[in-house]
Amino acid sequence: MSIILKASNISKQYRLGLVGTGTISHDLNRWWAGIRGKEDPYLKVGSINDRSTKADSDYVWALQDINFEVQQGEVLGIIGKNGAGKSTLLKILSRVTIPTTGEIKTKGRIASLLEVGTGFHPELTGRENIYLNGAILGMNKAEIKSKEEEIIDFSGCERYVDTPVKRYSSGMRVRLAFAVAAFLEPDILVIDEVLAVGDAEFQKKAIGKMQDISKGDGRTVLFVSHNMDSIMRLCTRAILLKNGSIIENGKVSHVIDTYLRAEFGATSHKTWDKNSGNNIVKILSVRAHNQNFEKTDNFKVTEKIGITVRYEVMETGHKIHSAFNFFNSSGINIFDSHESNTILYHEKKHSGIYEATVWIYKNIFSEGVIVVGVALVTHDPFQVHFHDNDAIAFNIVEDLVSSPTRGDYVGSLPGIIRPNLKWESHKININD
């Protein structure tokens, strides 16, 4: 495969709250430096783009020293928390804005779907915007005409295609914008997380189309999403942005693992030194694993999950047991589980190393990140000897093909649990 896109030393600097540098003197200094062939004097100052800290400079680097290559036919996932620089990077790749330093080299046409309504003229009809976007991509009228009916049919907006798009709902705009971007055959399709606006039917069609574009047509897709499940299913490679810099680039599962560590300070395995605990009990390790006790950071909704804690009893004669707390990424406590039904629960433990495993049945957790807290306690009287509220974390993904809980639905399902409940249905004969 050939390289279709290359980003070299891309950086983007902004001055907070202002356009340009914000002052005539600073703009003149920047201009005069350029005339003399000197470096921009304001590139040497500025804070990293960490939205959680107070700014110590008027300048901020939204992106800094971004370097990566994309092969033809790849689906590249771009992940990171809000403010990491994902949207800024896509705007630079799409030529919406220019980088402060560095350059982008591409081959072929680029189509972008960045925000609801991007690239649409609100006063023009849906049909007129199809031709406008095609012209922007460098297509002639005959080429656009050959794709017109496919675009309209895919978007599901046939009834309103001759209505000005300013009267469209946000969902209708996204449907039409995606259809235009996908069917006008760009060599590179750039998509921000605007697909979340669409309904379930459209999301299913859009995901299928993106797969067809990359696998069937050999075209390239750059995809930004906070949904790790979508990234796992669609992407062949991923990059992780943090504070405007790439901190991981490679295999999707590895990048997601790094994201869990960066975002939640945890992965599916953690060990402690001998100082973690007290003179009664010390924790040694906690890990998440599959049925074969193999460590992994990603579990399917339909997969049984094991959590094992290992600890050392230092002082004989205490009824010590372990407990787990399970939270979603929003910090909502899903449930707790205590080691209350084991043989050793009511026994006073002798000194030595112990291990306890809890098994979580399949179809319990919904998609997303699960954070696990661990505690070591005694009862009679009750005392907490050790507690780490976010010891480990893992990701729950869903296989759209074999999922028993969603049927043909492919959109985002609400809720923090995903039980596979028993349903019964039958036809009622009203004449009986």
Task: Kindly report the pTM of this predicted structure.
Answer: 0.61
Contacts of 169 (CB under 8 A, 6+ apart): none
pLDDT tens digit string along 285-344? 999 999 999 988 888 888 999 999 999 999 999 999 999 999 887 778 899 999 988 888
Residues of the chain with CATH 3.40.50.300: 3-9+64-262
Averaged over 130-159, what is the pLDDT?
86
Taking residues 4-24, what's their average pLDDT? 72
Which of 3.40.30.10, 3.50.40.10, 2.70.50.60, 3.20.20.140 is the CATH number of 269-397?
A: 2.70.50.60
pLDDT over 70 (residue 420): yes
Res 256: pLDDT: 79
Query: pLDDT confidence of 21, banded at 50, 70, 90?
Result: very low
Are the C-beta atoms of 105 and 250 separated by less than 8 Å? no
Q: What's the pLDDT at 225?
A: 81
pLDDT tens-place string over residues 161-177: 999 988 988 778 888 88
pLDDT at 37 exceeding the cut of 70: no
Does the pLDDT of residue 91 top 80, yes or no? yes
pLDDT at 33: 64
Which pLDDT score is estimated for 44? 53
**Domain 3-9+64-262 listed as CATH 3.50.50.60:** no
Burial (Cβ within 10 Å: 0-12, 13-18, ≥19) of residue 43: middle
Residue 360 pLDDT > 90:
yes
Q: Which residue has the higher pLDDT, 51 or 206?
A: 206
Give the residue-averaged pLDDT of 12-20: 64
Q: What proportion of the chain, given as a percentage, has pLDDT over 90?
A: 25
Instruction: State residue 239's pLDDT score.
Output: 93
Write the pLDDT tens digit of every residue in 199-232.
666 777 777 787 787 777 778 889 888 777 678 7
Mean pLDDT value across the chain = 82
Q: Give span(s): CATH 2.70.50.60, the chain.
A: 269-397
pLDDT at 83: 80
With a cut of 70, say whether residue 32 has pLDDT above it.
Answer: no
Assess whether pLDDT exceeds 80 at residue 98.
Answer: yes
Question: What average pLDDT score do residues 403-430 get?
Answer: 78
Q: Three-state secondary structure along the chain?
A: CCEEEEEEEEEEEEECCCCCCCCHHHHHHHHHHHHCCCCCHHHHCCEECCCCCCCCCCEEEEEEEEEEEEECCCEEEEECCCCCCHHHHHHHHCCCCCCCEEEEEECCCEEEECCCCCCCCCCCEHHHHHHHHHHHCCCCHHHHHHHHHHHHHHHCCHHHCCCEHHHCCHHHHHHHHHHHHHHCCCCEEEECHHHHHCCHHHHHHHHHHHHHHHHHCCCEEEEECCCHHHHHHHCCEEEEEECCEEEEEECHHHHHHHHHHHHHCCCCEEECCCCCECCCEEEEEEEEECCCCCECCEEECCCCEEEEEEEEECCCCECEEEEEEEEECCCCEEEEEECCCCCCCCCCECCEEEEEEEEECCCCECCEEEEEEEEEEECCCCEEEEEEEEEEEEEEECCCCCCCCCCCCCCCCCCCECCCCCCCCCCCCCCC
- pLDDT higher than 90, residue 111: no
**Would you state the pLDDT for residue 408?**
66
> Which amino acid type is present at position 91?
K
How high is the pLDDT of residue 117?
60
Which of residues 179 and 68 earns the better pLDDT score?
A: 68
pLDDT at residue 68, as a whole number = 93
